[in-house]
């Protein structure tokens, strides 16, 4: 989105905005550098660097610790709502805000910033640590090390940041947090739709639940009558064991083409104004091309990735995703998966089904980087229903996969908008009423 000139302040930063260091602005710093407690099943989350993602704490793969360790660890600090966790020992300056009600321990290499509310409202602090001024201070005070770069605890209170009046802070916080919450909701909705599609696909094509129900004289749960009529009434022997009668057993590489990427360094940038970001495994994992390498526009067209393409990393970190990170060049160690015969949902979800076994195969490779080979695609088996049933099931699966992808795409658009607004709002160059009007006009 491009903001109109009416949304920009003509006189620059408002005169009542001040630059203060964190100490004078009432920000308390609490160092969390202690021994690492032993992990247990269940228990309290122990927040480490991997849990800090896009300004939020994500608990999906968090270490858990005992109540005794939690109580010992939090004698110095019990994290509370609006506290901001900042990475000290890395060059990224990553941060995350502590949500309401989360009882957790903050791990090594992290510090917590807490506002007393006198100059900086607690909710606004999360946006200060994502501002351009903050990043300037990170670069200014970063100590370069042999293994990793780090910030010293004694330096962080000296960070100088722009501090707006409290009423302006509240307005900025409402606007940015509203956008951020919408982004999180869209990503959660996408993940939920993906989980539903994956569970339904397993029920249909791995466990054969609807066919099994019909074979036993029962109505398949949740299956429309016209679709149920297309189901076989019995099973037959196949190389996979008992499969629905008439369904074909085939290999994964027979239902889709797996195009391996190119060594993009062979296509150096020829014009600094025109280039393609290179999509590697790292870009696939994080879902965007920020900070990616660059390649020439002369990359062959079949290796140019568009939003909506299915990508499969077959080396290192094995992932399968429907790409929504923008145009880019397909690097080696990634497959672009396509099919002229079968719908996207079908070959995408079948690849997802086999992903755990592919990962297990890669993990047992005696190389520094685990991987699979094309022979493993041939060994991975799929079952194919009748053409009529495939068309009918497309009415069920295609909308789920499409909407899940659209949610991620919309989240990306809003994240770009948020990141565009952030520096202008934090510097006082963008007036909130005009910005809100501009946002409403685009909704």
Residues 362 and 266 in one domain: yes
Buried b (16+ CB within 10 A) or exposed e, 228-252: eebbbeebeeeeeeebbeebeeeeb
Pairing of β 248-251 and β 381-384: antiparallel
Residues 61 and 96 in one domain: yes
Residues 144 and 22 in one domain: yes
Residue range(s) defining the domain that contains residue 119: 18-163
Residues 324 and 405 in one domain: no
Q: Is residue 309 part of a domain?
A: yes
Q: Which of 134, 163, 192 is the last residue of a domain?
A: 163
Q: How far is CA 57 from the centre of its chain?
A: 12
Pairing of β 304-305 and β 328-330: antiparallel
Residues 158 and 22 in one domain: yes
Q: Which of 337, 362, 384 is the last residue of a domain?
A: 384
Considering just the CA atoms, what is the radius of gyration of the chain in Å?
A: 26
Residues 233 and 336 in one domain: no
Report the half-sphere exposure of 197 (CA within 13 A, side-chain side): 28
Q: Which of 128, 163, 198 is the last residue of a domain?
A: 163
Q: What is the pLDDT of residue 80?
A: 92
Residues 140 and 215 in one domain: no
Partnered with residue 237 across adjacent β-strands are 242
The CA-based angle 335-337-341, given to 5 degrees, is: 155
Q: Is residue 190 part of a domain?
A: yes
The CATH number of residue 343's host domain is: 3.90.220.20
Q: How far is CA 254 from the centre of its chain?
A: 30
The span from the first CA to the last CA of the chain, in angstroms, equals 11
Number of structural domains in the chain: 3
Q: Is residue 397 part of a domain?
A: yes
Q: How far apart are CA 147 and CA 228, in angstroms?
A: 61
Annotate 181-239 with DSSP letters as a single string.
HHHHHHHHHHHHHHHHHHHHHHHHHTS-HHHHHHHTT-PPTT--HHHHTTS-SSEEEET
CB atoms within 10 A of CB 433: 9
Query: Among residues 280, 343, 284, 338, which one has the least CA distance to residue 310?
Result: 338
Query: Which DSSP symbol is given to 16?
Result: T
Q: Is 31 helix (H, G, I), strand (E, B) or coil?
A: strand
Q: Is residue 247 part of a domain?
A: no
Q: What is the pLDDT of residue 34?
A: 65
Q: What is the sign of the dihedral through the CA atoms of 338, 344, 345 and 347?
A: negative
Q: How far apart are CA 278 and CA 330, in angstroms?
A: 6
Query: Among residues 137, 192, 196, 139, which one has the least CA distance to residue 162?
Result: 137
Per-residue pLDDT 10s for the chain (443 aa) are 333 333 334 344 456 888 999 999 999 998 876 677 889 998 999 998 889 988 999 998 899 999 999 888 888 778 999 999 999 876 556 899 999 999 999 988 899 999 999 999 999 999 999 998 898 998 899 888 767 788 888 999 999 999 999 999 999 999 999 999 999 999 999 999 999 999 999 999 999 999 999 999 999 999 999 999 999 999 999 999 999 999 999 999 999 999 999 999 999 998 888 999 999 999 999 899 988 999 999 999 999 999 999 999 999 889 999 999 999 999 999 999 999 999 999 999 999 999 999 999 998 875 567 889 999 999 999 999 999 999 999 999 999 999 999 999 999 999 999 999 999 898 888 767 655 655 555 55
Q: Is residue 328 part of a domain?
A: yes
Q: What is the pLDDT of residue 237?
A: 97
Query: Among residues 101, 82, 99, which one has the least CA distance to residue 27?
Result: 82
Q: Is residue 322 part of a domain?
A: yes
Q: What is the pLDDT of residue 32?
A: 73
Query: Among residues 436, 394, 390, which one has the least CA distance to residue 417?
Result: 436
Residues 364 and 257 in one domain: yes
Q: Is residue 246 part of a domain?
A: no
CB atoms within 10 A of CB 312: 25
Q: Is residue 248 part of a domain?
A: no
């Amino acid at each position: 989105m491009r903001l109109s000139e009416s949304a920009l302040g003509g006189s620059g930063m408002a005169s009542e905005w001040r630059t203060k260091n964190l100490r004078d602005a009432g920000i308390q710093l609490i160092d969390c550098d202690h021994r690492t407690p032993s992990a247990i099943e269940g228990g309290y989350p122990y927040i480490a660097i991997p849990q800090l993602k896009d300004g939020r704490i994500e608990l999906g793969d968090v270490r858990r610790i005992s109540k005794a360790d939690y109580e010992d660890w939090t004698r110095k600090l019990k994290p509370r709502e609006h506290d901001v966790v900042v990475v000290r020992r890395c060059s990224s300056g990553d941060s995350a805000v502590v949500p309401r009600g989360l009882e957790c321990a903050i791990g090594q290499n992290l510090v917590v910033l807490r506002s007393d509310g006198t100059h900086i409202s607690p909710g606004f602090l999360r946006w200060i640590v994502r501002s351009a001024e903050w990043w300037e201070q990170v670069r200014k005070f970063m100590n370069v090390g042999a293994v990793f770069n780090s910030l010293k605890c004694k330096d962080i209170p000296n960070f100088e940041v722009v501090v707006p009046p409290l009423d302006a802070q509240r307005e900025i916080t409402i606007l940015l947090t509203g956008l951020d919450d919408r982004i999180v909701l869209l990503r959660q909705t996408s993940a939920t739709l993906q989980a539903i599609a994956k569970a339904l696909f397993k029920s249909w094509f791995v466990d054969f639940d609807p066919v099994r129900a019909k074979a036993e004289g029962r109505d398949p749960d949740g299956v429309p009558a016209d679709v149920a009529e297309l189901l076989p009434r019995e099973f037959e022997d196949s190389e996979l064991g008992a499969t629905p009668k008439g369904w074909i057993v085939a290999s994964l590489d027979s239902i889709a083409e797996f195009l391996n990427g190119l060594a993009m360094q062979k296509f150096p940038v020829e014009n600094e104004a025109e280039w393609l970001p290179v999509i590697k495994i790292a870009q696939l994992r994080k879902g965007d091309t920020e900070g990616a390498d660059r390649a020439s526009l002369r990359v062959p067209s079949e290796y140019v990735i568009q939003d909506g393409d299915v990508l499969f990393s077959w080396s290192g970190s094995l992932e399968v995703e429907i790409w929504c990170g923008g145009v880019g060049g397909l690097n080696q160690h990634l497959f672009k998966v396509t099919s002229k015969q079968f719908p996207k949902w079908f070959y995408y979800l079948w690849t997802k089904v086999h992903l755990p076994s592919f990962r297990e195969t890669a993990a047992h490779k005696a190389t520094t980087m685990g991987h699979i080979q094309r022979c493993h695609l041939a060994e991975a088996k799929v079952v194919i229903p009748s053409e009529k049933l495939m068309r009918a099931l497309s009415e069920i699966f295609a909308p789920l996969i499409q909407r899940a992808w659209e949610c991620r795409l919309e989240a990306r658009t809003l994240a770009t908008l948020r990141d565009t607004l952030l520096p202008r709002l934090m510097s006082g160059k963008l007036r909130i009423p005009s910005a809100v009007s501009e946002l409403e006009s685009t909704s």
